[in-house]
Amino acid sequence: MKLGIDLGGTKIEGVVMSSEGAVLAKERVATPRSYPAIIDAIADLVFRLEATVGGRVSVGVGGPGAESAVTRRIKNSNTECINGKSLRDDLSARLVRSVRFSNDANCFALSEAVDGAGESADVVFGVILGTGVGGGLVVNKRVLNGVNGIAGEWGHTPLPNFKEGRRCYCGRQDCIETYLCGAGLVRSYSNAGGGALSVPEIVERATGDEALAKSVFDIYCKQLASALAVVINIVDPAIIVLGGGLSNIKMLYEAVPLHWNDYVFSDECVTQLLPAKYGDSSGVRGAAWLWDN
């Protein structure tokens, strides 16, 4: 058995899986606001799940940010209270065993590469389009972390085209995230002269008769295609898997591949764009698979 923990901004999810990927137990709790309380909440969740399945298990954790290769401390996390903290070491001490940690987008990508939408592919790029924008790269069922621990951090690279000068929370300008996250689409619609609508409302209008929403959404698809074309040109993945709230927009899977042909350096692009098989559960499943990685 293996146990995965998905540390999110509002919830912590835990799951115990068999070696074949069957879910044996799962539970969610609210994410506390302080670092010590987060450590306690994860540890308590692990102990409860172990009691449920009746055995001691390996523990993998997926969360925001990355672990510094130099200090082993968390960096780049939008859950700010864990930045600068030795999350993996502190959890290992609390649980009295080794713990593995990886970025939540890496865990998402790993889950989909092992037994999800990308199971048939050697190279899979996983994308989370939600409150933020993240990416993870898996090669031969193994997460590629990179020497700096930031491989796949696609959301904080500059958008190649269709940009207007947006400041990102990370301090940089025109990050992909500022356009492709949910708030980015809402901002694009508002900037184009629309009202303050939600993403579902914008999508509903784009599938209806509103010309403005159609235009804004078409630009969003071109922005996503242009950004993904950079990934395709560099690592040439067989499958790109989308997760997060915006991955539920069905029009993306037809429109984006049509647009990325304008930017991919090839006479033909056979990369597939697919929705995640496990949806919101991919992150926690990938955390559990870290011990097979």
pLDDT value at position 172? 93
**pLDDT above 90 coverage of the chain, percent:** 91
Residue with tokens 């080794």, as numbered in its chain = 98
Looking at the DSSP assignment, which residues form a beta bridge with residue 9? none
Query: In the predicted model, is pLDDT for residue 254 greater than 80?
Result: yes
Same fold, 2-103+281-292 and 117-276: yes
Q: Specify the pairing of strand 272-275 against strand 239-243.
A: parallel
Give CA–CA dist 245/184, Å, rounded.
13
- Please report, as a single letter, which amino acid is at residue 163: K
> 142-184 pLDDT, tens per residue?
999 998 888 999 999 999 999 999 999 889 999 999 999 999 9
> 95-145 pLDDT, tens per residue?
999 999 999 999 999 999 999 999 999 999 999 999 899 999 999 999 999
Work out whether the CA dihedral 30, 32, 33, 39 comes out positive or negative. Answer: negative
Give CA–CA dist 134/131, Å, rounded.
10
CA dist 76 to 20, 81, 138, 169, Å? Answer: 33, 11, 20, 11
**Could you tell me the pLDDT band of residue 21, with boundaries at 50, 70 and 90?**
very high
Tokens of 282: 């991919």
Which residues does 83 contact at the CB level (< 8 Å), separation at least 6?
A: 65, 73, 74, 75, 76, 77
pLDDT value at position 123? 98
Q: What is the average pLDDT across 9-13?
A: 93
59-88 as b/e: b if 16+ CB within 10 A: bbbbbbbbbbeeeebbbbbebebbbebbbb
Tokens of 96: 């009295």
Helices (H) and strands (E) in the chain, counts: 9, 12
| Domain positions in the chain | 2-103+281-292, 117-276
pLDDT value at position 265? 96
Where on the phi/psi map is residue 61: left (φ > 0), alpha (ψ -120 to 50), or beta?
Answer: beta
pLDDT value at position 140? 97
Query: In the predicted model, is pLDDT for residue 8 greater than 80?
Result: yes
Tokens of 129: 């389009």
Give CA–CA dist 71/83, Å, rounded.
12
CA dist 181 to 78, 154, 168, 205, Å? Answer: 14, 12, 11, 18
Strand, coil or helix: 59: strand
Tell me the fold of 117-276. Nucleotidyltransferase; domain 5 (3.30.420)
Backbone angles phi, psi at 135, to 5 degrees: -145, 150
Best CATH choice for the domain 2-103+281-292 from the list 3.40.50.2300, 3.20.20.70, 3.40.50.300, 3.30.420.40: 3.30.420.40
Helix, strand, coil percentages (3-state) for the chain, rounded to 5, are 40, 20, 35
Query: In the predicted model, is pLDDT for residue 282 greater than 80?
Result: yes
Q: What is the average pLDDT across 234-254?
A: 97
Query: In the predicted model, is pLDDT for residue 237 greater than 90?
Result: yes
